[in-house]
Amino acid sequence: MTHHVTSMLDTYPKDLGGVDREKLAECIEACFECAQTCTACADACLSEEMVAYLTKCIRTNMDCADICATTGNVLSRHTGYDANITRAILEACRTACTACTEECEQHAGMHEHCRVCAEACRRCETACREPISSLG
């Protein structure tokens, strides 16, 4: 996926300013990967025997998936760029990923899918931190 994200950034017809394209590509990729992983984790939680025990985890997974997908979409658009919106969506994504990491870690000992999800969320949270510092 990184190849396609990078190719699209490289072929954008206008200057992207001082944005680190590699960090931006990593962040976009991490957002979409996290969205997919959180969606799959929520679905796996629904298949567990004690599904009622996982209600908060499922909700947090779904919220994180939606926020990550939206963040990936916003970061993929550059025309009419607004640094304030980008900064806010990156912060929201970091917050959602932190919450999902913490929730999934509570279940990681019993559910491998929660361990995998926590790792993806942690990676996305880190990837979203990088572009914030370079925003104008």
Phi, then psi, of 44 in degrees rounded to 5: -65, -40
| The CATH fold of domain 22-134 | Substrate Binding Domain Of Dnak; Chain:A; Domain 2 (1.20.1270)
Please report the pLDDT score of residue 91 as a whole number. Answer: 96
At what angle are helices 21-46 and 55-75 packed, to 10 degrees? 150
Least confident of 7-11, 12-16, 53-57, 66-70: 12-16
Q: Where are the domains of the chain?
A: 22-134
Name the percent of the chain lying above pLDDT 70: 91
Residue with more model confidence, 82 or 116 = 116
Buried b (16+ CB within 10 A) or exposed e, 26-45: bbbbbbbbbbebbbbbbebb
**Residue 132 pLDDT > 80:** no
Q: For the whole prediction, is pTM greater than 0.85?
A: yes
Q: Calculate the average pLDDT of the chain.
A: 91
H helical segments located in the chain: 2-10, 21-46, 55-75, 83-107, 112-134
